[in-house]
Structure 1
Amino acid sequence: MEKLGLQLFTIRDFLKTPEDVKNSFSKLIELGYTEGQTATSDWYGMGAEKFRDICRETGLSICGTHYSFDRIYDATDEVMKEHEIVGTTNIGIGGMPGLSEMTLESVKVFVEKFNEVARKIHKHGFKLTYHNHHWEFAKHSGVRIMDYLADNLDKDATSFVLDTHWVQAGGGDVIDWMKKLAGRIDILHLKDYKIENGERAFAEIYEGNINFDGVLKTAEEIGVKHYVVEEDTCPGDPFDSIRISADNLKARGYLK
């Protein structure tokens, strides 16, 4: 693993102002993180150019985004320009719109729109990425939605941001899904899974129950390009949690 990234949603409470962003990115570099994946459609309130300048100043590069699908679809040219400024070709969404009303028919409509815009941006060197949760492992009209996405999203113009925790939360086998999507996972979300007080909970890498030795071995075999830690909810200071994740990866020889 030459680089380690962080899904910036993990430290969202520390990205309120440009100064916050600068200080937080400097901390990430100190902890061994050199890449970030954003979770914003306005570049944390400062616009793409100012955000890019802070990234350059601190040394953090952006490997992808979670962005508004409506804006990607409705303002495609502007969105491509913003991503070009920031320096990433991975334009992504954090999940399917309308999950609470999901039906197989609504998923089919979504996939058509997703592929339409994905093919448009692919002509300009971009790729549209889809991040899963556990909802996609539900069956609607006898069809598992994750299977439908895997079978019907354009294999050339799209890619998956596969999330290890959410695959397991959905009852899927993480390594099997990685193999099934081989060559289609440019960004892998490293997120552990534990049971706490009888409930599902997020955990630092190697502090939960996911077989990360197997995950990381498989990731290398299938050509994952970006390894991105994410912890949606941390038990305390998120910088303590992401330090633990980085230290555990270093201790096992996966990260220098």
Structure 2
Amino acid sequence: MPSSLMSRRNALKLTVAGIGTMLAASKGLIPTAHGGTYSMKPHAYKDNLGIQLYSIRKQLLESAGDAFEKLAAIGYQHVEWFDVTSLDTLAPLAQSHGLPITSAHVLSPYITGNKLMQAVIPDDLNSPEKLIEKLNKFGINHLVLSYIFDDERQHIDQYKTLSEQLNRVGELSKTAGIQLCYHNHDFEFQQLNGQRPFDLLLSELDHENVKFELDVFWAKYAGLQPDELITSLADRCALLHLKDLKSMPSTHATTHTPADEAMFKPVGSGIIDFEKILSAAKQVGVDNVFVEQDHNTGHIFEDLQSSFNYLQTLNIK
């Protein structure tokens, strides 16, 4: 990489870091080891709840300004982006409503460089270096691989290749002050060629350069206890997705079973024990937690308000 480009990036990183520090201080937050923030208030997660914007993808298309205003009014403190192609147009709007962006999701082609599949990558994001530069522009300090497509996970060896690719991008990201993370679904916990892909990822991924964003819904759906998994991951668990599960699928232990939309519930209205989860998160030092609701059967902002209100009632130890 040309030294002049690296110099520009370093200067940009320092500038954004300063802005990020001021924004964090204004919201009563302090930095964490993974590059995230903790609230200086007694309950770090309850007073510093984030929201994954995939939850309101339809509302962002209708009126992004109104959507951000409603999130801020509920009490959410920061957001996790789900479509990096919209950063230039919508990120300033989110920030103007007091919602800094602390994390961003990308699909696999942004990390692997594989065929575009369902992703359309613009020229200004068509390499890991360009993606990292874009995140630095907006002070985003976590980058998350959100999903890998079906044809990328047909054999365990594909996860070995993916681990190598994640390690390379993770090293680039870390140098730029950004923590790369892998977001799970349920299929990583199912046997593939005699091995659980999640176990391979644990073995192959660099402990510092690639952390995990644990989605507690999908972990529970796969038959695990999310709080125990958080404890076992320890400092390798940097982020959490909080969403509730209506009930367990009958085939979770042996087969990847797509979740029906009705299975996704507001936090506190399903079977997941969030008090245990957030207590475990506090013990291991998880940076940030994000409420997410992939699907809803009612009014999404009412559901997000319900999730927020419920989380305020928890006794996090």
TM over 0.5: yes
- Segment drifting more, 114-123 vs 245-254: 245-254
Question: What is the correspondence of 1:187-206 to structure 2 with a 5 Å cutoff?
Answer: 187-195=239-247, 201-206=263-268
Partner of 1:235: 297
User: 5+ residue gaps in structure 2?
Assistant: 1-44, 114-126, 251-259
Secondary structure at 1:214's aligned position in 2? helix
Q: Of residues 197, 213, 224 in structure 2, which corresponds to 1:172?
A: 224
- Whether contact under 8 Å (1:41, 1:68) holds in the other structure is no
User: 5+ residue gaps in structure 1?
Assistant: none
- Whether contact under 8 Å (2:152, 2:158) holds in the other structure is no
How many residues of Structure 1 are paired with residues of Structure 2 in the alignment? 248
- Whether contact under 8 Å (2:79, 2:100) holds in the other structure is yes
- Whether contact under 8 Å (1:187, 1:227) holds in the other structure is yes
Residue 30 in structure 1 maps to residue 93 in structure 2: no
C-alpha separation between the residues in 2 aligned to 1:211 and 1:89? 28
Report percent identity of matched pairs. Answer: 26
CA distance 1:91–1:216, change in 2 (3 Å)? same
- Whether contact under 8 Å (1:51, 1:86) holds in the other structure is no
Q: Of residues 52, 64, 67 in structure 1, which corresponds to 2:106?
A: 67
- Segment drifting more, 73-82 vs 207-216: 73-82
Partner of 1:7: 52
Divergent runs of 4+, >6 A: 196-200
C-alpha separation between the residues in 2 aligned to 1:217 and 1:101? 33
1:183-215 Cα deviation digits (max 9, x unpaired): 122211111111299977111111111111111
Aligned partner of 2:285: which letter?
Answer: G
Shift of 1:118: 1.1
* Bigger-Rg structure (1/2): 2
Question: What is the correspondence of 1:34-49 to structure 2 with a 5 Å cutoff?
Answer: 34-43=77-86, 48-49=87-88
C-alpha separation between the residues in 1 aligned to 2:285 and 2:151? 30
Secondary structure at 2:234's aligned position in 1? coil
CA distance 1:73–1:101, change in 2 (3 Å)? closer
Residue 21 in structure 1 maps to residue 64 in structure 2: yes
Aligned partner of 1:128: which letter?
Answer: L
Secondary structure at 1:67's aligned position in 2? strand
- Whether contact under 8 Å (2:213, 2:239) holds in the other structure is yes
Shift of 1:69: 3.0
Aligned partner of 2:215: which letter?
Answer: D
Question: What is the correspondence of 1:61-140 to structure 2 with a 5 Å cutoff?
Answer: 61-74=100-113, 75-98=127-150, 101-140=153-192
TM-score, scaled to structure 1: 0.90
TM-score, scaled to structure 2: 0.73
C-alpha separation between the residues in 1 aligned to 2:153 and 2:160? 13
C-alpha separation between the residues in 2 aligned to 1:80 and 1:213? 34
C-alpha separation between the residues in 1 aligned to 2:66 and 2:141? 25
Q: Of residues 280, 293, 302 in structure 2, which corresponds to 1:218?
A: 280
Partner of 1:185: 237
Aligned partner of 2:56: which letter?
Answer: I
